[in-house]
Amino acid sequence: EIVMTQSPATLSVSPGERATLSCRASQSVSSNLAWYQQKPGQAPRLLIYGASTRATGIPARFSGSGSGTEFTLTISSLQSEDFAVYYCQQYNNWREYTFGQGTKLEIK
């Protein structure tokens, strides 16, 4: 099983600042990586797929990068609605999808 490790577990950032979230895979997943945002009481929402492609309707302040085992989600200028939990997910192998444990982005 491919293990996804996200860091940090919690990130405190002020509105307007940049946030950088990391995700590491235990083995290469090429660019088969997605990012999701989840707010309390809501279902997850797809932000990024293919490691760097924004999903439909996702603001340009969200960007993804990386390949292989190291990935980054960057939010360039945090808005109040961006404070949430973020998950990475690898889909390198059918029947073996895994998520990271999540990073909680909180207001500083």
Partner 1 sequence: EVQLVESGGGLVQPGRSLRLSCAASGFTFDDYAMHWVRQAPGKGLEWVSGISWNSGSIGYADSVKGRFTISRDNAKNSLYLQMNSLRAEDTALYYCAKGRMGDRRGWFDPWGQGTLVTVSS
Question: How far, in Å, CA of 25 to CA of 44, rounded?
Answer: 21
Question: How far, in Å, CA of 107 to CA of 75, rounded?
Answer: 13
Q: Which is nearer to partner 1, 16 or 57 (CB)?
A: 57
DSSP letters, 13-35, are E-TTS-EEEEEEESS--TT-EEE
Per-residue mark of binding to partner 1, 14-33 (x: CB under 8 A): ------------------x-
Residues 37-96 that bind partner 1 (CB under 8 A): 38, 43-46, 49, 55, 87, 89, 91-96
The nearest distance, CB 38 to partner 1, in angstroms, is 8
